[in-house]
Structure 1
Amino acid sequence: MFTGIVEELGTIAEVLDQGDAIRLTVQAETVLEGTGLGDSISVNGCCLTVSELGEDRWTADLMQETLDKTSLRGVAPGNRVNLERAVTVDKRLGGHIVQGHVDGVGEVLSRTPSEHWDVVEISLPGDLDRYLVDKGSITVDGVSLTVVEVREDSFTVSLIPETLARTTLGSRRVGDLVNLEADVIAKHVEKLLGAYAPNRTPTSTHTPDSDEEE
């Protein structure tokens, strides 16, 4: 589990194409402290397992499912990525409960800069809009953010200077793809109440209602 508070900006050092998988090596410092083989690190919001460790880098194996469902399929050496170690029980939950399980990929539609913050609009896959509410939580590329406004097929967030400086969201441009994870509490509530709702089939994270209209 993660909190959506990015600890460090890492750099993709190597991408080894294995056909139906890749081995991803990331150069980092902070997230290597206290990390061992088999531990979890969030990369742009995607939970990956450490398979190799070096002095200033670590490696993970990404299977086809990860490549199909996340923006990590497009990473290349030199790219910066948001990194966070799995949270421990003695840490403050500064963001919200994040699993590192990407629900969908959105596209940056617009950026509106202000003197002290940027308002960013991101497209929203149709099966995720039911989980978002104004002033609710959303994870974008591993960053815990507050939803400003939910629109018909998109949503907006405001990025403060700290977020702009310490995460990749400061450099995301219109057209860039970002990993999205909805609030897990909303998904659990939907499934629990689904059995009692008339004319509605309970859903899971991976099997949205095919006949549901928003």
Structure 2
Amino acid sequence: MHELNVADKSGVQALPATVARRWGAVDGLVHCAGIIQPFTRLKDLDFETIDRVFSVNWSGTLYLTKTFLPVLLDRPEGHIVNVSSMGGFLPVPGQTIYGASKAAVKLLTEGLHAECEGTTVRVTSVFPGGVATNIGANSGVAMPVDEAAAARQAGRITTPERAARDILDGMERDAYRVLIGSDARMMDRLYRLSPRRAAGLIATKMKDLLNR
């Protein structure tokens, strides 16, 4: 294990050599580090919180992707997987900054996919819905409700183990995108059919939480 602050550019840039010395060649990168913001409107967020979310979710993804890309291009075959979010294609009021950072990850990864056509590197974007990773506590954010318990009761929560299997299956298939969980798959379909309706549905669900 190598402990790393993904927002530390110099630390990330030193990682490939460290990993190579310990483990040998690197053939793949799965980047899933991410944090959420407090459940509040943009007008009530301070810039320190905004910068923290973007430094982990956006800068961390960019640093790792760009640092490992030359390493993987030198391998017979390589794969980069970046984890965006259902919130990266569907706006969630109260998580606007989180969603914006994950939307940036989406476009970075899709752009890289196009740039890597004709090379030995494959690129996959991942869009999880609700996954039982305790992201609120791990982000230092108080959850407005016990969302993990509520989602579990509704049968919509995905276990980390299932999410990992789906990601690895996507890598093996050279998938362009991987949707994790029935909630992500359902909202992806709805958003593509009617973006405004899908956004309105989520906004209605978030309204009471934001008014507390």
Calculate the TM-score normalised by the size of structure 2. Answer: 0.28
Relative to total residues, which structure has the larger helix share, 1 or 2?
2
- Which structure has greater strand proportion? 1
